[in-house]
Amino acid sequence: MDSAAVMQQISASGLRGRGGAAFPTGLKWQLLAEQKADCKYLVANADEGDPGSFSDRLLMERDPYRLIEAMLIAGITVGARLGYIYLRREYEQTASMLQAAIAQARAAGWLGQHVLGSAHGFEIHLVIGKGSYLCGEETAMLNAIEDRRPEARLRPPQITELGLYSKPTLVNNVETLCSIPWIITHGAAAYAALGTPESPGTKLLSLNAVFKRPGLYEVEFGISLRDIVDKLGLGLKQGQLKGLMIGGPLAGVIPPQLLDTPLAYQSLQQIGGAVGHGGVIAFDDSCSIAELVAQVFRFGAFESCGKCTPCHHGAAEISRHFDDILQGGHWNASRWQALVTALADASLCGHGRGLAEFAQSIQRHYHAELQTCFTSA
């Protein structure tokens, strides 16, 4: 199968990025393949930093060769000769396993100047992450690989035009790449037959320890959120479900009355949620909304790269005031609303905008409880 045929299969499969943005994978590959450059790069985003997510770690530790094979297919297809795996710093065991697998692949002729004696060359380097959550944002990750400060870049230009070392670059996350060998083996039609027409394929979900049966599950798109809670997680260990956070904390919270929503990109978007990376964090009725907001904005403020004012200062101010609210204080509702609006409208990357989506969903679904945090002035 030549590069054009591979590209056609990936496009026809309907595969979308599994790291959060859900950009069509075939289109992203096509954009890079069309770039006329003497050097192109491929980066596997393995900086799995969302709280409650551990799917990429399992994929890499159970079968590191699948990721290597996928990167080789992607690299040859788009014309990249060098790939990087940017790995979360805390994944020390994963790093050892990947290093060993890369060395074995190189010894077997799968990596190097002439892959399996062909005219194609491809090499993979493992880069250990810098520890910042924001390095999961692809432009910040490229800065980190270049040993620069890991902060988001202003776009455009897109990284498919001007990415790593100012060269065209393809970034896919681990789960996205690990879908590639299956699609090539079984065909685009077989993959597209899974899931729903608007969200084909499968998704890995990481259920947190609040569930009776936490763990990692692969499901077809289209399963209802209720079935995820009741049939996969077997409900909660204690208390009543108060809400779900799907895809990490930087997305909309989903209340119990919306559990019949299917797990699909457009369906979740319509209710202010997101598929994201696939972490499913449940919280029960013992958790106050003030406590939840304080925790999320404490995390958001700590992990902000500091480049844009709404995120750097706004998240910190919200975090500080909600910590005070937990001690019995109150805050001004208009100031809260102004900061949330600024995060939504003026943040440089998805970190600040995701915090705004979280805050807006809290306002929408838990309005009465949220209002108890504010003064009337």
Residue appearing with tokens 């799907």? 246
Backbone φ/ψ region at 239: left (φ over 0), alpha (ψ -120 to 50), beta? left
Report d(CA 164, CA 267) in Å as an integer. 34
Which H, E and C letters describe the chain, residue by residue?
Answer: CCHHHHHHHHHHHCCECCCCCCCEHHHHHHHHHCCCCCCCEEEEEECCCCCCCCHHHHHHHHCHHHHHHHHHHHHHHHCCCEEEEEECCCCHHHHHHHHHHHHHHHHCCCCECCHHHCCCCEEEEEEECCCCHHHHCHHHHHHHHCCCCCCCCCCCCCCCCCCHHHCCEEEEEHHHHHCHHHHHHHCHHHHHCCECCCCECEEEEEECCCECCCEEEEEECCCEHHHHHHHHCCCECCCCEEEEEECCCCCCEECHHHCCCECCHHHHHHCCCCCCCCEEEEEECCCCHHHHHHHHHHHHHHHCCCCCHHHHHHHHHHHHHHHHHHCCCCEEHHHHHHHHHHHHHHCCCHHHHHHHHHHHHHHHHCHHHHHCCEECC
Report d(CA 317, CA 312) in Å as an integer. 9
pLDDT recorded at residue 1: 85
φ/ψ of residue 247, rounded to 5: 85, 20
| Domains assigned to the chain | 3-191 (3.40.50.11540), 194-284 (3.10.20.600), 289-375 (1.20.1440.230)
Which contacts qualify for 212-221: CB closer than 8 Å, 24 or more apart? 212/236, 212/237, 216/54, 216/55, 216/58, 219/263, 220/194, 220/195, 221/194, 221/195, 221/196, 221/262, 221/263, 221/264, 221/265
Per-residue model confidence as pLDDT tens digits over 64-119: 999 999 999 999 999 999 999 999 999 999 999 999 999 999 999 999 999 999 99
For residue 129, give the nearest of 172, 83, 86, 84 by alpha carbon. Answer: 86
Amino acid at 168: P
Q: What contacts 39, CB < 8 A, 6 or more positions away?
A: 81, 82, 165, 167
Q: What contacts 169, CB < 8 A, 6 or more positions away?
A: 32, 40, 41, 42, 43, 142, 159, 160, 163
pLDDT recorded at residue 368: 96
Question: Along the chain (377 residues), what's the average pLDDT of each consecutive run of 10 residues?
Answer: 95 93 94 96 94 92 98 97 97 98 97 93 96 86 94 91 97 97 98 97 97 97 98 98 91 96 96 92 96 94 89 93 93 94 93 93 96 81
Token code pair at residue 241: 């479900």
pLDDT recorded at residue 361: 95
Distances (CA, A) of 361 to 80, 157, 252, 253, 375: 41, 31, 5, 6, 20
Number of residues assigned to the chain: 377
pLDDT recorded at residue 376: 60
- Alpha-carbon radius of gyration of the chain: 21
pLDDT recorded at residue 130: 85
